[in-house]
Amino acid sequence: METDADLSGRDSRRRLTGVLCRSGPLFLVVASLSWGCWQWRSELTSVPYLDDSSVHQQMVRFAAQRIAAGHDPYTSWFPYLGLGSPQFLHYQGLGATIAGLLGLLIGADSAFRWTLYLLLAMWPACIYGSARVMGIGRWSSAASAAAAPFLASFTGVGYEPKAYVWIGWGVWAQLWASWTLPFAWAFTLRALSNFRAVIPAVILVSLTVAFHFETGYLAIGGIIVIAIFGEGYWPHRLARGALLLISSLLVSAWVTVPLVLSAPWAATNEILSQTPLVNGYGAKQVLAWLLTGQIYDAFRTPVITIFVGLGVLACAVRWRAQALGRVVLALWAMSLVLSFGRTTFGGLTVLLPGSTDLFMRRFGMGVQLAGLFLAGLGVSIFARTSADLLRHARSRFKRVPGHVILATFTIGLVCLAMWPLVSQMGAYASANSNAIRHEYSLNRIGSRLIGPLLSYVREHGDGRTYAGMPSNWGQHFTVGYVPVFKYLENADIDEVGYTLRTASLMTDPEYYFNEKNPGDYALFGIRYLILPANHPPAVPALLVVSSGPYRLYLLPNNGYVRVADIVGTLVADRSNVGLRSVAYLNSPLPRVGKYLTVAFDGRPAPTPTGAGRSFATPPGQIISSRSQLTSGIVRATIVTRRRAVAVLSASYDPGWTVTVNGLPARTVMVAPALVAVQLNPGTYHVVFQYVGFAFYPELLAAALLVLLSWILATLCYRNSRRRDGKGPVGGCQADNIDHSPGDSLLTLGSSEVPVSKDLEAGGRP
Percentage of residues of the chain with pLDDT beyond 90: 77
What value does the mean pLDDT take over residues 306-322? 93
> Quick check: 652 pLDDT over 70?
yes
Confidence band (pLDDT; 50, 70, 90) for 720?
Answer: confident
Does the pTM surpass 0.85? The reply is yes
Angle between helices 4-39 and 123-134 (to 10 degrees): 130
Helices (H), 91-233: 94-106, 108-121, 123-134, 138-147, 172-191, 198-211, 213-229
Q: Which amino acid is at 598?
A: V
Confidence band (pLDDT; 50, 70, 90) for 620?
Answer: very high
Percentage of residues of the chain with pLDDT beyond 70: 87
What strands lie across the sheet with 464-466, from one edge to the other? 495-496, 464-466, 526-532, 550-554, 542-547
CA of 458: how far to CAs of 517, 627, 688, in Å? 25, 12, 21
Contact 177, 212 (CB under 8 A): yes
Residue 746, judged by CB atoms within 10 A of its CB (0-12, 13-18, 19+), counts as buried
Confidence band (pLDDT; 50, 70, 90) for 751?
Answer: very low
CB contact set of 426 (below 8 Å; sequence gap of 6+): 39
1.10.357, 1.10.3470, 2.60.40, 2.40.160: CATH of 563-690: 2.60.40
Helices (H), 461-555: 484-490, 507-511, 518-523
The residue with greater pLDDT, 566 or 727, is 566
Reported as a single tens digit per residue, the pLDDT across 123-159 is 999 999 999 999 999 989 999 999 999 999 999 999 9
The predicted structure's pLDDT at residue 614: 67
Confidence band (pLDDT; 50, 70, 90) for 756?
Answer: very low
Confidence band (pLDDT; 50, 70, 90) for 268?
Answer: very high
> Quick check: 610 pLDDT over 70?
no
Q: Could you state, in order of their start, the residue ranges of all structural domains in the chain?
A: 17-46+122-262+281-427, 447-504+526-554, 563-690
Q: For residues 504 and 268, what is the distance between their CA atoms, to the nearest angstrom?
A: 9
> Quick check: 628 pLDDT over 60?
yes
DSSP-assigned states of every residue in 170-205: --HHHHHHHHHHHHHHHHHHHHTT-GGGHHHHHHHH
- What is the average pLDDT value for the chain, to the nearest integer? 88
The predicted structure's pLDDT at residue 761: 32
The residue with greater pLDDT, 3 or 581, is 581
Percentages helix, strand, coil for the chain (3-state, rounded to 5) are 55, 15, 30
What value does the mean pLDDT take over residues 569-596? 94
Confidence band (pLDDT; 50, 70, 90) for 384?
Answer: confident
Contact 112, 490 (CB under 8 A): no
CA dihedral (548, 550, 551, 557) in degrees, to 10, reads -150
Reported as a single tens digit per residue, the pLDDT across 189-242 is 999 888 889 999 999 999 999 999 999 999 999 999 999 999 888 888 999 999
Q: Which amino acid is at 717?
A: Y
